[in-house]
Every structure is written in structure tokens, then in C-alpha cells.
A and B are shown apart, each in its own frame.
Chain A
Amino acid sequence: MTDGKKTIALLGQPNSGKSTLFNALTGLKQHVGNWPGKTVEKKQGSFMRNGEEFIVTDLPGTYSLSANSDEEIVTRDYISSGAADVVCIMADSSQLERSLFMLSDYAGINVPCFLVLNLADVAKDQGKTIDVSGIRNKLKIPVVLMDATATKKYDDFFVCLEEAFNSKAKLDTSLLENRLESIDGYKELKAVIPDNLIPGCSPVWMAVKSIEGDKVVRAKIENSLKGESKTAYVDIISKFDRGALLTGECKFSFIDDLLKDSVTKTETNIKQTKLDRAITHKFWGKTVVVLLVIGGLLLSFIPAVPLMMLGSVFTAIAVPVRSALESANASPIITGIICDVIFQSLANTVKMLGFAFGITLVFGMFEESGIMARISYVFDNTMSKMGLQGKSVMPFLVSFGCTIGGATSSRVIDNWGQKVLTIALAWAVPCGAAWAIIPMLATNFFGWRAVLVIVAILLVMLVHIWITAKVFGGRLVKKEDRYGIIMELPPYHKPKWGALFRYVLGRTKDMFFRVIKVIIPVCLVFWILSYSAGSIEDSILYKVGTAIEPVTKLFGLNWQLFMAFVASSIGKEGAVGVLTALYSQSGTIYGAVNGTNAAVANSTQLLLSNISGPEALAFMFAITFNVPCVVALAATYQETHSAKWTGIITAYYTVGALIISCIVYHIGLLIM
């Protein structure tokens, strides 16, 4: 219980409709954070019913209650902590036998619960009939058959919920025990296990986990026992080899007993649709996936563009505000902070959110519809070499367009470490802004050899990704977590646009505050560094830049190039503008980054006459592999929920870009 409010925990295997139910119940009243001390996402929300507030905790989607991953441990600990008054166990009616495994794994836990047989509509379409009262009589807990997507028809669900709160009914384990008793040694084991050793967990449950070789449970029991009973316990469990198979068989037999007479089953056939055959095709699969992702990226602009235009409103408002402030003789510092920092940050944030909104919507649709699971399948082999899931291919592809989108689309990766690693690697992919300036710069400097520069950049990208995977891989994705894919490929669902839309909108609001928290301080610091009352020479950036020029020259960057490099971590589009401003001594650095400086004639000539070939080459690599932009940094923070890792990745890329620049410069000196 939380402050006397009634608390429900949602428990179920992936694809049982947990998120759908959670979103339908809580609407926009949800909060996403982390489980204490763990890098597992914690989703909580609340809703009001008959004047009472209910708290809903969405437990991580795991396949069982063993202790093999952080997700499972979090789930288990939360349930036995007693924080939830009632656990809502969810199963997919269209694959009842398999998805009731979670219920069978829960059996023996004494926290009151009720069972939701979700996706009733799909089961009905398959011609299955399910007799709820039969199941309910055997389990002795409330059971409801429902379609979580039909949000108007939740009456039965609420009746069931209230009943569970009133009766505090616990799952009857006798049916499961009948089966367990066939395991040699089960009865003796159960007899030596003390009651109440782990709150909420009965000896039945502890015996099952002991047989399965669950280290946590085994250690707990061993430590609590003494003398003869301890020897007896150790003796019995040492005899079990591959115990999970024994209990697994019992659990499924229990499920069979449960469903016998209650479910009429017509054999479901496997239908592989045309799309499915295309995606999973041996030769064309990867191409189809790449096209789908590119299509998704383009599609995401449809909802994004109107929102992004909203961002320009702030840029537009800044103009009259600036003149008003100037005519009121406000100090240039105040004017600068308001117009350059605050309005510009708001504009960038809103633009980013617009884009993130589109990406989340489209890739959320991929996830909902079942396409994402196919993508995982097709790219499993390639991505698992880096310790990643197949899905991770998507943020990489999206990052060729925009790293912000790449970071945002990593949301579908359900393991935190893999998510952070994916983002860290996706930063190495040159984004649209780099593609907009590098070919142009390269052509100006090197003519047709620009092609070679591009090829070199792509090669460096591959090496960068490889090295970065080595550097961070071990810490983010532990060796013992690198196992092969075992994943359900759910049937295709028609995505529910309305629900998805509302959900994404809610998340976007949440994001606004997180993102603005990162963007304003970073922009403010950069603004202060580049602030000058008169000429550029007054700015701190200039003073530092010229002071350390002897060092940066080693990287092939004179002070102008170095300042443009620093500016490119705010936004790459501005890098050339900064150079132009510095060499022409006009406009401001900050203005150049945000594209508000006046145009300078002959800027190409200006650059060619001031920058040598090797320097230009070094510069191009430096900005390509620098931090993508401040907004991508904010998006990374938003998705990883970790200031620490966002900081580590940022520092790594800044240093990495300088090292690359240094190497390229010296190679350039040799060949040019």
C-alpha cells in the first residue's frame, strides 16, 4: 500500500496487453522513472474510481518470476515487498496455454490476485470459447475475460478488481501441487522449508524455485536452516539436475488441467502473410527492413511538421521582443539571454519534440503491430555481435537522418544497457546535418576527391562503432546477459492509433520538461562563453581558443576551426557559419550557430584562402564525429534517464573527435 491508497500491480508476459491496460486505466496520469538501484524502467500511474484513488504499477514485462535478470528481480521483490495490495495477472486468451505460464509461476505467492484473460476478441475470432467460471472455480480468484483495447467496456474488469480488493482471495495451488507431487523429493523439500521466510512466498513456491536452481531462494533457505533440516535440504536439492524442466512440465500440465473442460480449442494455424514472408525472407529481408525504417522515418514527418512549425513561432516572436528590449534600452546581456538563449532553446525544444513525437508515433506503431519483432529477427545475427538486439538496427538507420530521432527510436529496446549502448553507437553515425555540410565543404576543398572523403568517413564510422562497442559494451551489457534470442513473434495487430496517439502525446509533455532542463543550461553556458560586447575578440571562447591554440594545432585545428568545432556540438549546421563569422569578423558565434547572422558574400573563397587542405580534412572529421547536437544530447538523457551516461558519452565523443581529427590531420600532412 502507498499512503493508504489502493495499489495494483500489473504482471504478465510480453504481449499480454499490459501496456494497453495500463494506459487505458491511467491515461495521462503516469510517471516514468527507474526502480531504485536498478536500471529498469518503472512505470506508475493512478486513476480515480468511485472517489477513491488507485495506484497502478506496471511491472516489467518478463516471461517468468525467476531471478535471471534485473527485470525479474525487480518484479519479484516488488511483489513480495507487499507494496501492491492486489496483483493483476494478465494472459493472452489467444495463446492461453503458453501465456498462463506467468500465473503458474505465481502460484504459491500469497499476495491477493486476480486474472485477466486479455485479447478476448482475438480468441473469439479464432473460434475459441473460454468458460471463465470454470477457471475461476479451480483457481478460487476473480477472473475476467476482456478486450483491453475496448476502453469503453471495462465494467467487468472493475467488478473483478473490486472483488479482488474485497475478498483478498489468494490463488489456490492445490491443482498445481497435484502435479508437483509427482516430482521425486518435492514433498520432502516442501516439508523442510520454513513458512514466511520470504514474505508473501509460501513453501510451495520456494520448493519450486529450489528445484529450478534459483540461487537467491536457495541461499535464503540454506542460511535460515540449521542442523539436520539443513543437511536434508542441501541433500535433496543437490539431486536435481535441470530442475526447471521438471517444474516446467508440471506447470504446463497444471495449465492443461485448468483449461480442460473450460476452453474449446480449434487448432490455430500459422498464417504467414505476404508481408511476413517478405520481411523474413532469407535474401530480401534486410532490404525490406531498411526500406520499412526509411519509410517510417519519412512517415514520421507527417505528424512532426506541424509541431515543428510551432517551434519557429518562438524564433519569430524573438524578433519583436528583441527590438522592444533594445528600444527600451535593456542591457544587451538581458536581451541576449532572453532572445538568444531562452527563445532559441524553446524553439529548438519544440522542434525536437515535434520530431520526437512523429518518431515515437510511427515506431510505436511498428512495435504495436508486430513489425518490430520481425526486425529483431532479421537483424539478430548482425546486431548480437555487438551485444545488441536486432531491434537496435533501427536507431542506427534513423540516425543517418537525425540522431535525435535515433535516440528517440531506441525506446523500443527493452533492456536498459542495450538501449544505452545502442544510443552510444548511433552517435557515431553521421547525421543529416553532417551530410548537408561535409560533401559541400569537401567538394570546395578537394573537388572530385570529395568522394574519397565520404568513403573515408563511412569507414571511420564503422571502426568507431566497433571500438565504441568494445569500450562500453562490457559495462553496459554484461557477458552473462549476452544470450541468444528467445522471443515471441506476435501475430500482426492493427495498431490502435487513437490510444497510441494519446499515449505519445502524454509522453511528449513529460519530455518537454526533461529536454528543456538540458537545453537551456547548455545553451546558456555556450552563450556566456561566446558573449562579446563588441568584437569577437572580447569573448571568453576567443581568449581560451587563442590561448590553447598551440595544443589544438596538434589536432589540426587553429583557433577558428577549434571554436567552430566547439560550436558544432551545439548544432552541426552552424559550424560553417561560425567559420565564416570568424574569418569575416562579422556577426556573432552564437548567431552563426543558430543561423541568425547576416549572410556573408564569398564565404567559400574566404574559407579556401584561410584553411589548408589537411586542416580542412581534420575539421570535417572532427565535426562529423563530434557530439551530434545539444538536442540529441537532451534526447539521449530523456531515453536513458541517466545524467551519468549522457555525460560519459558526451565526453567520449568530444575526446574521440579530437583524436580522430589529430590522426586525420597528420595523415593529411603526409599525403597533401
Chain B
Amino acid sequence: MRSLNELPAGAKAIVASIDGDTRYLSRITSIGITPGCSIKVIKNDSKRPMLVFLRDTMIALNNNECKNIKVEVRGN
């Protein structure tokens, strides 16, 4: 298992678990990120939010907070 923010652009993964307080969990699930959903990293530039694609949507996520999202990397 790795943290989402360690993945390079182009990587695909499945969300395994998410840490954080109630508020963060509620925000992250309501935008569509839940355990089991597949995710693709579009951009991961330092000092920028991450860009990920999931459930037909492009989403920007605070890079630091992506440490909370643990993923299982998936081959192509």
C-alpha cells in the first residue's frame, strides 16, 4: 500500500483506505473518493494540488492531504 501523493502522473490505483477527521472524510467521500474506487493520477507536480480522475471527474486535491489516502497500485 502506498499513499496517493507518492504516485506519478499516469499511475492507476484502487483506493484502499482513507484516514482523517470526520470533516475530511465527509468531504472526500462526498466528492466521490471512497475505498474501492479506482483512480488515475493526471498530474502530481510539487507545490501544486494533485489532479486525479475518478468516476468520470477530474478532481484537484491538496497534495499534503493526499498522504491520508492509501492506495493499491494497479497495472494497466
A residues with a Cβ closer than 8 A to B are 13, 63-64, 66, 68, 94-98, 101, 105, 212-215, 242-245, 247-249, 251-252, 268, 270, 272, 280, 282, 373, 376-378, 380-381, 480, 483-491
Which 4 residue pairs of A and B lie closest in terms of their CB atoms, listed nearest first? A484-B62, A248-B29, A64-B30, A244-B25
Let me know if B60 and A376 touch, CB within 8 A. Answer: yes
A105 CA to B34 CA in the complex, in Å? 14
Sample 11 A-B pairs with CB under 8 A, ordered by A number.
Answer: A66-B30, A68-B23, A95-B57, A97-B55, A245-B25, A483-B24, A484-B49, A487-B59, A488-B59, A489-B60, A490-B58
Let me know if B60 and A377 touch, CB within 8 A. Answer: yes
Let me know if A68 and B34 touch, CB within 8 A. Answer: no
- Which single residue of chain B is at the shortest CB-CB distance from A242? B25
When each residue 31-71 of chain B gets 1 if its CB lies under 8 Å from chain A and 0 otherwise, what string results?
Answer: 11011110010110101110101111111111111000000
A268 CA to B60 CA in the complex, in Å? 18
| A378 proximity list for chain B (CB < 8 A) | 48
A272 CA to B9 CA in the complex, in Å? 13
Residue with the highest number of chain A CB atoms closer than 10 Å, among B25, B36, B64: B25
Chain A-chain B contacts (Cβ-Cβ < 8 Å), number: 127
Let me know if A488 and B49 touch, CB within 8 A. Answer: no
Q: Given A242-B18, A248-B34, A484-B64, does the pair A282, B45 have CB atoms closer than 8 Å? A: yes
Task: Tell me the smallest distance from the CB of B44 to a CB of chain A, in Å.
Answer: 10
Let me know if A98 and B47 touch, CB within 8 A. Answer: no
Task: Tell me the smallest distance from the CB of B66 to a CB of chain A, in Å.
Answer: 9
Let me know if B34 and A380 touch, CB within 8 A. Answer: no
- Which single residue of chain B is at the shortest CB-CB distance from A384? B62
| B53 proximity list for chain A (CB < 8 A) | 270
Q: Given A380-B60, A485-B49, A488-B58, does the pair A245, B35 have CB atoms closer than 8 Å? A: yes
Let me know if A252 and B49 touch, CB within 8 A. Answer: no
Q: Does B76 contact A (CB under 8 A)?
A: no
Q: Given A68-B23, A252-B37, A489-B60, does the pair A245, B18 have CB atoms closer than 8 Å? A: yes
Range, interface on chain B: 35 or more
Q: Apart from A97-B55, A101-B29, A488-B31, what 17 extra A-B contacts exist at CB < 8 Å? A: A63-B30, A64-B29, A68-B27, A96-B56, A98-B31, A98-B55, A244-B25, A244-B29, A252-B34, A373-B60, A377-B51, A380-B60, A381-B47, A485-B49, A486-B62, A488-B57, A489-B59
| A487 proximity list for chain B (CB < 8 A) | 59-60
Task: Tell me the smallest distance from the CB of A268 to a CB of chain B, in Å.
Answer: 5
A243 CA to B20 CA in the complex, in Å? 11
A486 CA to B47 CA in the complex, in Å? 15
Partner of B35, one of A64, A213, A249: A249
A521 CA to B31 CA in the complex, in Å? 47
Task: Tell me the smallest distance from the CB of B68 to a CB of chain A, in Å.
Answer: 10
| A280 proximity list for chain B (CB < 8 A) | 43, 51
Partner of A486, one of B17, B28, B43, B64: B28
Q: Given A68-B23, A377-B48, does the pair A485, B60 have CB atoms closer than 8 Å? A: yes
| B35 proximity list for chain A (CB < 8 A) | 245, 249
Q: Is the interface of B mostly helix, strand, loop or mixed?
A: mixed
A248 CA to B24 CA in the complex, in Å? 13
| B28 proximity list for chain A (CB < 8 A) | 486
Residue with the highest number of chain A CB atoms closer than 10 Å, among B20, B22, B65: B22
Let me know if A98 and B56 touch, CB within 8 A. Answer: yes
| A272 proximity list for chain B (CB < 8 A) | 42
| A63 proximity list for chain B (CB < 8 A) | 27, 30-31
Q: Given A249-B35, A486-B31, does the pair A270, B48 have CB atoms closer than 8 Å? A: no
Task: Tell me the smallest distance from the CB of B59 to a CB of chain A, in Å.
Answer: 6
A214 CA to B20 CA in the complex, in Å? 15
A96 CA to B19 CA in the complex, in Å? 26
A280 CA to B48 CA in the complex, in Å? 9
| A248 proximity list for chain B (CB < 8 A) | 25, 29-30, 34
| B42 proximity list for chain A (CB < 8 A) | 270, 272
A359 CA to B34 CA in the complex, in Å? 39
Let me know if A68 and B26 touch, CB within 8 A. Answer: yes
Let me know if A483 and B49 touch, CB within 8 A. Answer: no
| A245 proximity list for chain B (CB < 8 A) | 17-18, 25, 29, 34-35
Task: Tell me the smallest distance from the CB of B8 to a CB of chain A, in Å.
Answer: 13
| A485 proximity list for chain B (CB < 8 A) | 49, 60-62
A242 CA to B25 CA in the complex, in Å? 7
Task: Tell me the smallest distance from the CB of B16 to a CB of chain A, in Å.
Answer: 11
- Which single residue of chain A is at the shortest CB-CB distance from B37? A252
Q: Given A249-B36, A280-B51, does the pair A489, B58 have CB atoms closer than 8 Å? A: yes
| A105 proximity list for chain B (CB < 8 A) | 30
| B36 proximity list for chain A (CB < 8 A) | 249
| A101 proximity list for chain B (CB < 8 A) | 29-32
| A213 proximity list for chain B (CB < 8 A) | 22
A13 CA to B54 CA in the complex, in Å? 16
A95 CA to B55 CA in the complex, in Å? 7
Let me know if A212 and B45 touch, CB within 8 A. Answer: no
